Amino acid sequence: MASTGEQESRQRFRDWYGREYDGVFVAIEREVIGGDYGANGYTTRAQVDDIAVRLGLDRGTRVLDIGTGRGWPALYFAQTRGCEVIACDVPIEGLQVGTRRAIRDGLDDLVHFVAASGDALPLREASFDAIVHTDTLC
């Protein structure tokens, strides 16, 4: 049984990931990160572009994004590179935000969200061309 402090911390975490930001939050993200994908970390668009180049991501590439939060950079990879991405994380609230964004942007055929921890993935081994994780504690 989790302590009251642990329960409160988990709830704050769920609340944070479940928010869909607009207005000033989106403006700040565009200025600091260079996009508006609901980023929950500090990896910039330039850094994500560099990752994509180094990994050779493009149409037909299958990518696993571990610790995706709300879908950054999974949605960006799909939109800019056309690759298929499985985006996984633990907070379901963030995955729900990412799923809504994928549908809204017409990327739901390329980005699939899975509730899973990086150390217990319910996925077949050797089924990805690349694995990424940004702003994730390992």
Domain residues of the chain, as ranges? Answer: 4-132
What's the confidence (pLDDT) of residue 23? 81
C-alpha distances in Å from residue 110, one per residue of 5, 58, 81, 115: 38, 12, 11, 17
CATH for 4-132 is 3.40.50.150
72 touches 87 (CB < 8 A): no
What's the confidence (pLDDT) of residue 137? 59
pTM value is 0.85
DSSP 34-83: SS-S--SS---HHHHHHHHHHHT--TT-EEEEET-TTTTTHHHHHHHH--
What's the confidence (pLDDT) of residue 136? 64
pLDDT in tens, 98-136: 999 999 999 999 999 999 988 888 888 889 999 999 876
What's the confidence (pLDDT) of residue 17? 73
What's the confidence (pLDDT) of residue 56? 97
Residue ranges in the chain whose pLDDT is less than 70: 40, 136-138
